[in-house]
Structure 1
Amino acid sequence: MERLSDEQIEQELDKLPEWKLVDEKWIRRRYKFENYLHGIEFVSGVAAYSEGQQHHPNIAIDYKVVTLKISSWEKRGLTDLDFEMAHHFDELYEQKEK
């Protein structure tokens, strides 16, 4: 995978309005949950998917808020895989919160 241009990143972020660009090389989203255990269940799903992709986000758990931060270390920036994962995590969140 190749590193995305600034224009490509902006186009991808338009499709993911909850995700924010951080330091020009990360995307980040905060997910809010009804309770602590729902957040932990979400993190478990994130971890399983990430392990399968061999591409792991930074994860912070703050009671009922889970923050994910994604970048491609090898490419020193963002790639298509980062955005594919963000889409997957959003879908996982929607399933958990139904």
Structure 2
Amino acid sequence: MERLTDEQIEQELRKLPDWRLVDEKWIRRRYKFKDYLNGVEFVRQVAEYSEGKSHHPNIAIDYKVVTLKISSWEMRGLTDLDFEMAHHFDELYKDQVQE
């Protein structure tokens, strides 16, 4: 696993328009839910997937808004795995919102 260059990060972020680069080493997205428990269920799914990958995002639950921040600590920046996970979290969100 290698740390991505600034150019690679920009390229990946173009594929994830709702994610933002933070402090040049994190990507962050806020997800909005119709109620608190939907957000909590989303967090459970994120946690389960993350545990399977042994790669864990920072998670904040603020009533109906869940914020995820991802970075690769060991690489001191962003890697392909961070963006793979962001794509997966977006799919989880899309599936949950459509239910």
Aligned equivalents of 1:40, 1:60: Cα separation in 2: 10
Alignment of 1:24-63 (within 5 A): 24-63=24-63
5+ residue gaps, structure 1, are: none
Q: CA deviation at 1:19?
A: 0.1
Q: SS state of the match for residue 93, structure 1?
A: helix
Q: How many residues align?
A: 98
5+ residue gaps, structure 2, are: none
Q: Could you tell me the TM-score, scaled by structure 2's length? A: 0.99
Aligned equivalents of 1:35, 1:43: Cα separation in 2: 13
1:81 match: 81
> Identity, % of aligned pairs?
81
Say yes or no: does 1:65 pair with 2:65: yes
1:10 match: 10
Deviations 1:29-58 (A, max 9, x none): 000000000000000000000000000000
Aligned equivalents of 2:5, 2:61: Cα separation in 1: 30
Aligned equivalents of 1:42, 1:95: Cα separation in 2: 10
